[in-house]
Structure 1
Amino acid sequence: MSALTFTLKTAPQQRVDLSALTPDALADKSLADIAAIELPSGHDKPRVDALFDISGDDATDIVIKNATDRLDYIGHGMRSGRITVHGNVGSYLAFKLRKGEIVLHGNAGDFAASGMAGGLLHVHGNVGDFLASAIIGERRGMKGGTVIITGNAGERAGDQMRRGLVLIEGNVGSYCASRMIAGTIGVMGSTGEYLAYGMRRGTVLLNNAPKLHATIQDCGSHTLPFLSLMFKSFRDLPTKFAAVNRNRVQRYAGDIANDGKGEILVFK
């Protein structure tokens, strides 16, 4: 068996919802059935075979080639299997992912990993705003799982994040970890303004000293033994964080204007 491969023929004129193309949804379907699936795209519903050349037969291992930033909702609600994408994608990558693995070789739009509750999202590139954050009208963002970003993330990464692990090897924009409820965010690069604004609980790991607002409290330098256990859990992950092994940090607490039980740990 070979991976079920969807090769985009030409860039679509409208945004396309690819939530129907997951290992769960395509299990036990024939190639003819898959080709006939209609994908929402503006006012139209083009068939899969109108947009993609289809090859392979293993629906547990899906590959999308020639992807563009007009392809949204890749991996929506996925509960098993693997999706590998070559090219850039649109918004809501790994939206409400439950289990399985999504690997993107390219950049993603806004709201990647929003509502994610399990599994692994690995982006070899950059992501837009609201990574692992709550969508409009929701009160919880990412709820579990692991996200690895090898590039940069936009603004509001981890906004209202409830649980899980987000590791960003590049830079992040303003309001990272805003209104964060719990979980862990690691950033190797720089952070924008208003880091941890409204943060309630959770941990932010930083490689570089951030610019902090008035309601983040400096708690001094500490050696925290629990960090050795955390870093040990990173060692099997495909990220630069796997090599981190420092438990001496400058600790900050906050946001003290909103319960103040969160922490920012800057490696020394």
Structure 2
Amino acid sequence: MTALTFSLKAESRQRIDVSPLTPDNLAGKTVAEIGAIPLQTGNRQVPTGQLFTIEGDDTRTLVFKGATAKLDYLGKAMASGEIRVEGGVGSYLGLHLNGGRIVVVGDAGAFAACEMKKGEIVIRGHAGDFLGAALPGNRKGMAGGVVLVKGDVGDRAGDHLRRGTLLIEGNAGAYLGSRMTAGTIAVLGQVGDHLGYAMGRGTLLLAQPPVAIPPTFNDCGTHTLSFIPLLLKGFAGLDTRFAGMGDALKRVRRYAGDMSQLGKGEILVAAS
């Protein structure tokens, strides 16, 4: 069997909701049936077969070729299987993801891994604002799983994060880990302003010192934390730089906060 492949026929002038195209939804369907599935694009619905050339027969593994930032909601509520994207994607990648694996060889838009529950997402390019966050107006963000971003991420990554792990190998924007209640966010690059804003619980692990530690975080001194190498070693299967950095990140300076909230969160900065 070969992976079920969707090749975009032409650049779309409208955004396309590709949420119906997941391994769970397509299981047991023929190529003809899949081609007849309507996709919302702009203010109308168009059959999948008019937008994509469809090849292959293994619905457990989907491949999107020639993908662009106009493809929204890719992998929405997916619970099993794998999706590989050759190119970039739009907003809401992996929204409500409940299992399986998504790999994007390109960039992702805003709200990637939004309210994700389980599974794994790998973004080999950059990600937009609100990575692993909650939908606007909601207070429950990402609740499980692992997200790896090889590039930079925008503002508010991990906003309202409840559980799970964000691994960011590039830089992160402002308000990293804002309002998070649990979980782990690790960053190899620089971070923006207002780090850990209104954070109640959870861990922010930084390989480089931030420009400033917020005044509502207390300096708890330097510590050697043996759990960090064990935590990072567990991500070896993701082909990430974090997996081999246990020793470099084991000795950290710890800041507790946000004291304007519960004050049970922590910022751990690699000690020089």
Provide TM-score, normalisation by structure 1.
Answer: 0.98
Whether the 8 Å contact between 2:131 and 2:157 is mirrored in structure 1 is: yes
Whole-angstrom distance in 1 between the partners of 2:146 and 2:239: 11
Partner of 2:264: 261
1:11 equivalent to 2:11? Answer yes
1:235-250 equivalence runs, <5 A: 235-246=236-247, 247-250=250-253
Whether the 8 Å contact between 2:233 and 2:244 is mirrored in structure 1 is: no
Structure number having the greater strand percentage: 2
Single out whichever of 235-244 and 137-146 deviates more from structure 2: 235-244
1:90 equivalent to 2:86? Answer no
Partner of 2:2: 2
SS in 2 for 1:39: strand
Which segments of 5 or more consecutive residues in structure 1 lack a partner in the other structure?
none
1:221 equivalent to 2:213? Answer no
Kindly provide the amino acid, as one letter, of the partner of residue 4 in structure 1: L
Partner of 1:233: 234
The runs of 4+ residues in structure 1 deviating greater than 4 Å are: none
Deviation of 1:232 after TM superposition, in Å, equals: 2.7
Whole-angstrom distance in 2 between the partners of 1:181 and 1:45: 39
SS in 2 for 1:128: coil
Which segments of 5 or more consecutive residues in structure 2 lack a partner in the other structure?
none
Kindly provide the amino acid, as one letter, of the partner of residue 229 in structure 1: L
Q: Deviations over 1:59-106 (max 9, x none)?
A: 101000111111000000001100000111100001111110000000
Whole-angstrom distance in 2 between the partners of 1:254 and 1:37: 49
Single out whichever of 190-199 and 245-254 deviates more from structure 2: 245-254
Whole-angstrom distance in 1 between the partners of 2:12 and 2:63: 18
Whole-angstrom distance in 2 between the partners of 1:121 and 1:69: 17
Partner of 1:81: 81
Deviation of 1:236 after TM superposition, in Å, equals: 2.9
Whether the 8 Å contact between 2:229 and 2:245 is mirrored in structure 1 is: no
Partner of 2:32: 32
Whole-angstrom distance in 2 between the partners of 1:83 and 1:228: 30
1:153 equivalent to 2:156? Answer no
Aligned alpha-carbon RMSD (Å): 0.8
Deviation of 1:21 after TM superposition, in Å, equals: 0.1
Q: Deviations over 1:135-154 (max 9, x none)?
A: 11211110100000000000
Deviation of 1:48 after TM superposition, in Å, equals: 0.4
Question: Matched residue pairs, number?
Answer: 268
